[in-house]
Amino acid sequence: MVSLLIAVVVMAIVFDYINGFHDAANAIATVVSTGVLPIRTAVLLAAALNFVGAMAGTAVAKTIASGFADPAQVTQGVVLAALIGASAWNLITWWFGIPSSSSHALVGGLAGAVVGHAGFGAFKWTALGQKVLVPLVASPTIGFVIAFFVMVGLVWLARGKLPMLGKGLAVLIWLGLGALGLSQVWLGREHALAEAVKRGKDTLTVELEYGGLVVFLLVGGVLAFIAGKRLYGAAPQIVQRLSRKMQLVSAGMMAFSHGSNDAQKSMGIITLALLSFASTHQGPRPAWMPEWALPVGETVPLWVILVCAAAIAAGTAAGGTRIIKTMGTKIIRITPLQGFAAETAGALTILGASRLGIPVSTTHCINACIMGVGASKRLSAVRWGVATNIVVAWVVTLPFSAALSWVSMQGIALLGG
């Protein structure tokens, strides 16, 4: 059982690494396609911010660890089969340059493995609907709408057509929104710390989560305010130069948000394996496994957070040029200003989902946002044939990854796993 647990942890790290280079395009496709950054610089920037983002919370990890199946009914073989199926589907779609969802591949893989081991009743299908199927439709739709209106607003702003609100009022609005956001973060932190202390859990992850969010809100708010003031009524050539700088910020936001959601999926699957090990292991805890290595309640161990953050960052640094081409050039021919709008909308959508513990597809979100900025110009600007093929990939990911994991589970069962 111990050797199987080690195999699961290694496979989860491999999945996280594959997730990194498979989804590298999510954060940097637009910034590379517009020529704002060369690809190697872009992937290194994305890798660094993936790592930082991965340290910003564990809500999604907890959903993966206990939201879809009871850890007491899950064996190490089930987790291993889920990872094999999800990784296989990721590699297949990466090879063909299809921007599919690593999140849905993992959830589909978990469903197929659980069903293959214990039947349909062992999987929480209601949670699948609430945490995956509804966001499958809602998150791209929200991203599309936000990107559409952000792009329209930026165009009006750049042309000096946005109704004058007065500089004082604009400053008050920004300060009010910033104060509201920071107050919500602070209140959430106080509540989370109180809950952690009450349950006797480690409070370090809470501090990391809210500290990262405060820094993100402060830096993002200041940069957005400065950019908005400089953009208003500027000449087209100034707008073009400024939009390239703005896209550096938005690409960083997107990389941070990608790490905050996607790295947590591997954290969750490792935590699920550890919970399963703790509930089924007979006898005392192995001497080589220190007490801090196992989760306390729903807490994700710190070593799991660090390992998964490093794995997704390393995978992102390896790059993903096949999918970058699809997302950055085949859907629409994107400009720096459009890239800023798409990445900003995508980051906001993904960060919201991360706070709610929803393992949303970062791929779906950024693709929908790219479509949204294209549609803001005219509907014909979007290559809907390519977009349709991507949507088909979204739909088939869950059943195909589930089928691959089901087959993997049967093979592991035959081998006695």
Token pair, residue 90, equals: 């990721």
SS3 content of the chain, % helix, strand, coil (to 5): 80, 0, 20
In sequence order, the 6+-apart residues with CB closer than 8 A to the CB of 193 are 203, 206, 207
Which pLDDT band holds residue 295 (cuts at 50, 70, 90)? confident
Give the helix ranges, DSSP H, for 55-133: 59-66, 76-95, 102-118, 125-128
pLDDT at 302: 87
270 neighbors 304 (Cβ within 8 angstroms):
yes
pLDDT for the residue numbered 82: 92
Q: What residues contact residue 234 under an 8 Å CB cut-off, 6+ apart?
A: 158, 242
Residue 95, Cβ density class (10 Å: 0-12 exposed, 13-18 middle, ≥19 buried): exposed
Write out pLDDT tens, residues 166-183: 454 455 555 655 665 666
Beta bridge partners of 123: 69
Q: Assess contact for 138 and 146: CB atoms under 8 A.
A: no
In contact, 17 and 10? CB cutoff 8 Å: no
User: How confident is the model over 109-163, as pLDDT tens digits?
Assistant: 999 999 998 888 889 888 888 888 888 778 888 888 888 888 887 777 666 554 4
Reported as a single tens digit per residue, the pLDDT across 323-376 is 555 444 444 467 777 888 888 888 888 888 888 888 887 877 887 888 888 777
Domains in the chain: boundaries:
2-162+232-414
Per-residue confidence (pLDDT) for residue 403, from 0 to 100 = 94
Q: Is 123 in a helix, a strand, or coil? A: strand
- Take residue 92 and report the two structure tokens written for it: 């297949």
Distance separating alpha carbons of residues 2 and 50, to the nearest angstrom: 30
Do 343 and 26 contact (CB within 8 A), yes or no? Answer: no
Q: In the structure encoding, which two tokens stand for residue 86, read together?
A: 């999800």
Please give the span between the terminal C-alpha atoms of the chain, in angstroms, as a whole number. 9
Of the listed ranges 66-70, 215-219, 245-249, 308-312, the least confidently predicted one is 215-219
